[in-house]
Amino acid sequence: MPTISGKKILITGGAGFIGYHLARELSRDRVNRVDLVDNFVRGKKDDEVESLSTLPNVRLIAGDLTDPATFARLDTDYDDVYHLAAIIGVSNVIERPHEVVRVNAVATLFLLDWFTKSTCRKLLFSSTSEAYAWTQQFHPLPVPTPEEVPLALTDLANPRSSYAGSKIFGELAVHNYCRMFGKPFTIVRYHNVYGPRMGYEHVIPQLFERARGGQNPLVVYSADHRRAFCYVDDAIAMTIGAMCSPAADNQTINIGNDHEEHSIGELAQRLLIQAGIASAIEPRTAEHDPIVRRCPDITKARELLGYQPRITLDEGLAGTLAWYAQKFRTNEAP
């Protein structure tokens, strides 16, 4: 993990999955001051966030980034600003795509207006592997996919374009605002990050809950589709490295683990073994999953950040399933 000490840090979406893990890591050094802002629509004010907010160097701010008044409550001299806040999730994309577009775009524009007028040092914008999704569906792209490939939105009528489009727009806005005002930035594109506290709308906790509930055969959607799974600790190390390394300034960097590309069916088999559950698997076709293979080329991360993934899928699954097993035992919602 990169060494950071004595910094003043802002994390938007700080109660979310990656935001929480990032805040926990950055706050370990009590010399750092870490401010978290979240509206708790997706991020949860659960026991873990509450415990984190009791630390003397952590401040939790309830605020909606689509409301300009929220920015008046923030300081203007942060060293590092991590912009992770966004509406994500397949159900949100399908059921309320207009809100995905509105919130992700407006929050980013308001943040950029505030950031470029402040004395804050650097911005990190969280993007997504979905930025490649529609280009990959309609045009040939190399897989593993490098950052420099063209991005395209080829089916704007499909609600799934709302999330990819909002993130591509965010990247465009960050590039142009920051370069116009001479502010350093880094854009990171997350690829299938998983781990404790990732919520329920993800394949790992959903498979685990159904398997624990006795579903046999275990229904596995898109079993032949391939994804590169990145444990959250690796993603956090890479995120902090992208913020702190001058070599990453004004760069777009894939975050992921190209060593752990597996089919969803293989993921399910490994999950069953880790959980000690004997079950057959029943493959089914997913209605809203058009991307057959997704894997990042992380050459740039290796060259600029000296990054190497450390956590294997089996190791990451063990920690993730242990966390969810505890939550299911105590009847806590994931």
Q: Indicate which residues carry an active-site annotation.
A: 163
Which residue in this structure is represented by tokens 């806040």? 85
**H or E segment and range at residue 177:** helix 161-181
Spatial contact of 196 and 232, defined as CB atoms under 8 Å apart: yes
The one-letter code for the residue type at 291 is I
What are the phi and psi torsion angles at 235 (to 5°)? -65, -40
Task: Taking each helix axis as running N to C, give the angle between helix 264-275 and helix 203-212, from 0 to 180 degrees, rounded to the nearest 10.
Answer: 50
The one-letter code for the residue type at 209 is E
Q: How far apart are CA 319 and CA 304, in angstroms?
A: 29
DSSP for 8-76, written as a single string: EEEEETTTSHHHHHHHHHHHTSTTSEEEEEE-SSSS---HHHHHHHTSTTEEEEE--TTSHHHHTTS-S
